[in-house]
Every structure is written in C-alpha cells, then in structure tokens.
Amino acid sequence: MGRPYILFWLVSKKQKVALYSQPVLVEYGMQFDIQLGPKRLIFDSDLHGLRMNGAEYVSGRDGILIYDQTRDIMTDVVELQMSTNTSTLIPALRALEIRYAPYFDERPVVASQNDITFYWKPSQLATFYNRYSTDELDYTEREPVIRHAVDFLTSNSEVLPLPEELLARMSEPSRLLGFYEGFPIFDGSTGFARLQSRLGIHVDTDSVMISTPLDKYEADVYEIAEHLAQETGLDYSKKKNRVMFLKDENLLRTLGILESD
C-alpha cells in the first residue's frame, strides 16, 4: 500500500461543511477531519474514546482496552477524541486498515495503558509522546500536532525510526498541590511522580487520575474513586491500578484544591 495522502477539513457540527484551513471552535465543540485515501479520521473535542459504525468505545470500569474491544472491527470512517493518545489512535488506524509500525501492536506497548510503571524506563512509545503529545495543549492548539503524529505513523509502517527515551516529564520536578485522605495530590502538568506513597492523585489539563504502581493497593484506588463518585455525582473510567475522572470544579473542591464559592 502506498503512502496515503492527508487532507484536513474543519467542519461545524451544525453545517458539516468545509470551513477554514485552521481548526475553529464552535458552539458544540471543535472537530476536524483527516482524509487517508478513501478512509477518514474525524477528531472531535466532545469524544472521550472513539466511535465506529454508530457504536462508542471507551475504557470503562471493566478495564478492557479500546484496542481489545475493537479488534475485529473494520470501517471507512472513525470518530475519535482530539488527542494523539495511542489508546484511540492505533485502534482507529487499525479499523481503517491503515498500516502503522508493528511496534504499537506489541502487547507490553498496548498494555502500557494499564501499567503506569511502563514509563519508568526508556521506550520508543515515550519518545513518540515526547514529540507528539497533546496532553498539555488546549484544543485550539492540537491540530498541527495531531497532523504531524498521523503523518509520522502512516509514513513509518514498517520500522519505527525512534530511539528509546525516558518520558520527558519524568525528569521534570513534581509539584505537590495538597493531600486527600492522606494521599498526595500532584500537578499533572509537570513531572511524573514515581510514587513512594500507596497512591497518588494527578490533576491534568482535562482529567484527574488516581493511580498506584503496586498491585496490592489497587483496591484502595477504586475505593477512593467510588467515594469521590458518590461525593460529586461524577463517573469515572477504570483501568488496571488507576481510574480517570474528567476534570470538574466540584471534584477539585472535594479534593480540597479549589476554594468553594
């Protein structure tokens, strides 16, 4: 298969027509397309997972990865979250039958989504994120990074031309925001705490992660998540040894790091 060509179309969810050569923020969120030959990726700021053939796939409380949920699905169009996270980008390319480096199908790489200790040593996946991560970018800034990431993945479908590096955030200082039920709360926008306590709470740009590197404390993560869910009325996604909440003012107040009105 030859190298696919890539086109971008910015669309309003109301009009579903081409608008401009840059992403636009519209009333119901931001959305843009990447055309890969006859196949199409639609990145949507309102999605947290991906959508194919009318069905949505997310990593839920059962901890089953989107990669495994969508193993036998093929389609011509995939809608996915506006991110370069390989937990959705790789399943999307696979469903479109667009080739990418076999490295991303290696089980330790796939399972890294459920293993936070994967990033405690150098890897090509960490190098990919050092170059193409959208985690700390506003939605209005993500389009060019996603464009380059998709182009890189589809242009290097045999061998991944990346050295093994530590995740850049591993060498950054961690910032402690406070404590909840005795457990540390970290600013997830800087550093990547190698937890010495039982677990840690990490506040990122659009999410709050509760995690532990130790299997024996996995139940503690889920217990705190359930307590927070009951206190705030929010739902969360569950993975091995960690859970994810969408960032919410009520949640931050409950954690004690945002003052009440």
Question: If you average pLDDT over residues 228-234, what whole number do you get?
Answer: 95
pLDDT score of 205 = 79
pLDDT value at position 194?
A: 56
Mean of per-residue pLDDT scores for the chain: 84
* Integer Cα distance of 74 and 97 in angstroms: 7
pTM of the predicted model as reported, rounded to 2 decimal places:
0.72
pLDDT the model gives residue 27: 41
DSSP three-state, residue 103: helix
Which residue type sits at 44?
A: D
Q: How far apart are CA 119 and CA 28, in angstroms?
A: 35
What's the average model confidence in pLDDT over 158-184?
88
pLDDT higher than threshold 50 for residue 23: no
Say if CB 119 and CB 192 are below 8 A apart: yes
Measured CA distances, 138 to 181, 192, 210 (Å): 31, 20, 22
Classify 102 as helix, strand or coil. helix
CATH class assigned to 172-255: alpha beta
Note the pLDDT tens digit of each residue in 112-139: 887 777 888 999 999 999 999 998 888 9
Whether residue 35 has pLDDT greater than 50: yes
pLDDT at 115: 76
Instruction: Write down the residue that tokens 């991944």 correspond to.
Output: 160
| Residue pLDDT, tens place only, 70-99 | 999 999 999 999 999 999 999 999 999 999
Taking residues 164-170, report their average pLDDT.
Answer: 88
How confident is the model at residue 259, as a pLDDT?
54
- Percentage of the chain lying above the pLDDT 90 cut: 55
Domain with CATH 3.30.780 in the chain: 172-255
Instruction: Give the residue ranges of DSSP H helices in the chain.
Output: 66-69, 86-95, 107-111, 124-132, 143-155, 218-232, 249-255
Instruction: Calculate mean pLDDT across residues 220-224.
Output: 91
Counting residues of the chain whose pLDDT is more than 70, the rounded percentage is: 84
Residue pair 229/235 in contact (Cβ under 8 Å)? The answer is: yes
pLDDT over 60 at 22, yes or no: no
Q: What is the pLDDT of residue 193?
A: 61
The predicted model gives 30-52 an average pLDDT of: 95
**φ, ψ dihedrals at 201, nearest 5°:** -115, 125
pLDDT-derived band at 155 (thresholds 50, 70, 90) equals very high
| Dihedral, CA of residue 41, residue 42, residue 47 and residue 50, to nearest 10 | -30
DSSP 72: T
The arithmetic mean of pLDDT across residues 189-196, rounded, is 63
171 pLDDT tier (thresholds 50, 70, 90): confident
Judged by DSSP in three states, 1 sits in coil
